[in-house]
Structure 1
Amino acid sequence: MKINAIDLFCGVGGLTYGVQEAGINVVAGFDFEASCKFAYEYNNKAKFVHRDIKELREDELLSYYPEDTDIKIMIGCAPCQPFSAYSHRYKDSESKKEKVDLLDYFGKQIKLVKPEIVSMENVPQLVKEPIFKRFIKTLKNEGYYFEYKVAFAPAYGVPQNRKRLLLLASKLGEIHFEKELTQEAYPTVRDAIYNLHKIEAGEIDPSDPLHRSRKLSELNLERIKNSKPGGTWRDWDESLLPNCYRKKSGATFGSVYGRLEWDKPSSTITTQFPGYGNGRFGHPDQDRALSLREGAILQTFPVEYQFVENWKKVSSQKIAMQIGNAVPPKLGEIIGISILKHLNMR
């Protein structure tokens, strides 16, 4: 049986990589962001297509599936910032207006291509949105069996406290997700990054350019030295507090300027993870924020995954955005395994 998949909104290839690790061939990934091309193609056996899904010709996706394909699979994660908890504070932002309808275009391609299998990953808040109800209606009208869940990432092997909406749909019959891990088996920060070389704030590991951390100001260096794993800025001497945290309104920001704990999953890796003051992104015992490589590994990218062809042309913040926005490859692998078991191929 010849199985081929296409990845919409592929980014740097987290979902593609995981699905391929499970044993499913991905022929192409589509994304509007051209800077993802190098990482996507270098690390995956698939073609990167720089296209806006809104501008695809009606027959375009079908042309990428080989003629001998028996099972067509369509996977993807429509950019989810418009529906994240953070973005709900900015309901009328321009970026939200531009991206809010992308899932409708995903549904349009499902109707055009009619793949046997569909998988979608997104933020949990999407479940409450009208656009998700429209997507489900499309699946029903097109004759799909489907299952979706809000998954806790550690239960599927991702060492961070992240929740994601996962969906599987099939024209061939009922489809279900792989069994979750027990809590005792959840991966931890120690499992993921303990063996990396030690580096200081502002330093780059000579053996891995991605293992680099931001330089800290003298004040922030003093703050992290006074931070406990799992603690908060409330552990500091008052002289180290920013003015906003001296006020009553600052009490709600308990997780910023925090250190991770070795024997627990990390906090959710966002696009801001290299910044010590942007969340609980302090290294458990080194006086610095997470390096780019550590963020990528906590997202379950393998340590050899390459994101940059030429450091002179790409900023660290751009790479952090690509890593933070990616689908964790381990979730992609779980999706792939679930699909193959559904097809009785595992």
Structure 2
Amino acid sequence: MNQLVQIDIQTDVKISAVDLFCGVGGLTHGLVRGGIQVAAGVDLDPNSRFPFEENNAAQFIERDVSLLQASEIRPYLSQSDFSLLAGCAPCQPFSTYSRSGRNSQYETQWPLALAFGSLVNKLKPDLVAMENVPQLADHNVFQDFVKSLKGYHTWWAVVDCSLYGIPQTRKRLVLLASRLGSVGLKLEPTHSKAVTVRDTIAGLPSIRAGEKDSSDAMHYASSLSELNLRRIEASTPGGTWRDWPEELQAACHKKATGATYPSVYGRMEWDKPGPTITTQCFGFGNGRFGHPEQSRAISLREAAMLQTFPANYKFVPSGTPIRFNKMGRLIGNAVPVRLGEVIAQALISHVNNYR
């Protein structure tokens, strides 16, 4: 079972933060683990309130960030020596899953990113941190966001999450900005060896498709049809549907267009990082989300742990029915906890250079 590395940062630096688009608290939990006090999180989704407040000593503000007034969060940023405005605006405009019919004007005038930038300009926090999809860097809205950070020193890069102890082949854009200066304003890789699927989820109890662990309602695997059960039993870790007998292959796989999608209906490999965890991570047919050896897709708890949430992170009140679509969305949209921790450590190190 994967355990997040808690690094003891010897510092008396006090940083208060507000997490915009906080969701269930992945970025917030990481920032707190890294030594930053998160006073509040803002998100429009009421389903995020319980996990955010239950696992973090911070207030949840249910609000559309595009309608949020600077005055509503200014008091939360003035509780320490330094202030941080952080967040990850939802990335649906740049999703690779639904490109048809997309409004190109919406892509170039991304309202939530612009709302983030507007709040930075009004509040003028000492520090800014933004995490998002790599594709954002190719669009005008990101260049406009960076240009709007007048008076800030900025650093950004598309980072490989496996270099920071996150067991996924996930790449994310990370931007850091500071009014203090540029020294040390960057993320340094923390792991020379990748954390693997085995490191992360091998210690969880074995369950079958459609089964829930009696001691953890989130360790719950979606059910499989008889056909998909035969398909996963014919799948090998790291293999594809092309390895199946012809009678198990779907009609779409036999078309020329289907041949370009080898990563669906795949099993993870024990001794490698997992794939990027998405909102559909609970479904065997939605990607390489098959368990390495059990005949099922990964459970919701396994997905959360691959997102580096602690194994005891609470997502719903006890006794609440677990709904795969809702939980998959909350987990898949989260910032990996470990990435938030690394961001916190980088910012504290940066601030220490100017103390």
Cα distance between partner residues in 1 of 2:288 and 2:126: 41
Matches within 5 A, 1:213-232: 213-232=221-240
Q: Does 1:106 align with 2:116?
A: yes
Q: Once the two structures are superposed, what CA deviation does each residue of 1:211-231 show, in whole Å capped at 9, x if it has no partner? A: 000111110000000001000
Q: Once the two structures are superposed, what CA deviation does each residue of 1:128-163 show, in whole Å capped at 9, x if it has no partner? A: 111101100111x2x100100000110111101111
Shift of 1:60: 1.7
Counterpart in the other structure of 2:52: 40
Residue identity matched to 1:105: A
Q: Does 1:194 align with 2:194?
A: no
Shift of 1:70: 1.9
Secondary structure in 1 matching 2:71: coil
Counterpart in the other structure of 1:25: 37
Cα distance between partner residues in 2 of 1:288 and 1:198: 10
Equivalent position to 1:130, from 121, 134, 140:
140
The answer as to whether partners of 2:134 and 2:158 remain within 8 angstroms in 1 is yes
The answer as to whether partners of 2:166 and 2:336 remain within 8 angstroms in 1 is yes
Secondary structure in 2 matching 1:343: helix
Shift of 1:89: 4.3
Percent of aligned pairs with the same residue?
50
Counterpart in the other structure of 1:291: 299
Once the two structures are overlaid, the 10-residue window that deviates more, 319-328 or 174-183, is: 174-183
Cα distance between partner residues in 2 of 1:180 and 1:164: 14
Gaps of 5+ in 1: none
Secondary structure in 1 matching 2:204: coil
Q: Does 1:80 align with 2:91?
A: yes
Residue identity matched to 2:56: N
Shift of 1:90: 4.5
Q: Once the two structures are superposed, what CA deviation does each residue of 1:153-195 show, in whole Å capped at 9, x if it has no partner? A: 1011110111100010000010422321455x11110110011
Cα distance between partner residues in 1 of 2:100 and 2:342: 32
Normalised by the length of structure 1, the TM-score is: 0.94
Counterpart in the other structure of 2:187: 178
The answer as to whether partners of 1:59 and 1:112 remain within 8 angstroms in 2 is no
Q: Does 1:248 align with 2:260?
A: no
Residue identity matched to 2:143: K
Cα distance between partner residues in 1 of 2:252 and 2:263: 14
Counterpart in the other structure of 2:242: 234
Matches within 5 A, 1:250-329: 250-309=258-317, 312=320, 315-329=323-337
Detail structure 1 runs of 4+ shifted over 6 Å in the superposition. none
The answer as to whether partners of 2:265 and 2:290 remain within 8 angstroms in 1 is yes
Counterpart in the other structure of 2:10: none
Normalised by the length of structure 2, the TM-score is: 0.92
Gaps of 5+ in 2: 1-12
The answer as to whether partners of 1:154 and 1:187 remain within 8 angstroms in 2 is yes
TM-aligned CA distance change 1:282 to 1:149, over 3 Å: same
Cα distance between partner residues in 1 of 2:100 and 2:159: 24
Residue identity matched to 2:242: R
Secondary structure in 1 matching 2:267: coil
The answer as to whether partners of 2:219 and 2:302 remain within 8 angstroms in 1 is yes
Counterpart in the other structure of 1:14: 26
Residue identity matched to 2:15: I
Equivalent position to 2:63, from 48, 51, 54:
51
Q: Once the two structures are superposed, what CA deviation does each residue of 1:42-96 show, in whole Å capped at 9, x if it has no partner? A: 0011000001112122422213234x532111000001121233344452399x6
Cα distance between partner residues in 2 of 1:242 and 1:292: 26
Residue identity matched to 2:71: D
The answer as to whether partners of 1:223 and 1:236 remain within 8 angstroms in 2 is yes
Secondary structure in 1 matching 2:345: helix
TM-aligned CA distance change 1:177 to 1:90, over 3 Å: farther
Cα distance between partner residues in 2 of 1:220 and 1:69: 54
